Amino acid sequence: MFVHHVFGIALTGSAISAPPSVKKYVPIFGTVELSTIFLSIMWLMRETGNTKGKGFKINMALFALSFFVTRILAMPAYLKKVWHEHDFSLLGATRYAFIGLCGLNAFWGVKILKMAKAQMAGK
């Protein structure tokens, strides 16, 4: 989790201080945070002991689905598309943090799928 935040802080700082043409990438890469909504709901449900009903399973499925679609599929595809664009290259060496985030997303994606599978099986 620490490495994830280091990459995120580096990218945020770079985007804030970058030329205005770089800021157009922020909304697209920001969509990966969609899954965080469901992660927060899942945490709240666990903290309040609401993990046995259909609501928890639905939320878990939405979390896994949104994580997979935005972080595993869309982020690397978009990164590949924009990698050689001049404006994106203005991020300099910091843009390599996106590759690190893609790797971390793959690592967490495997864990999330295992957790969702166990939860759906009732374990």
Q: pLDDT, tens digit, for every residue of 32-70?
A: 889 999 999 999 999 999 998 999 989 988 999 999 999
Q: pLDDT, tens digit, for every residue of 61-100?
A: 899 999 999 999 999 999 999 999 999 998 888 888 889 8
Secondary structure of 11-76 in the HEC alphabet?
Answer: HHHHHHHCCHHHHHHHHHHHHHHHHHHHHHHHHHHHHCCCCCCHHHHHHHHHHHHHHHHHHHHHHH
Domain ranges of the chain: 2-120
Give pTM, 2 decimals. Answer: 0.81
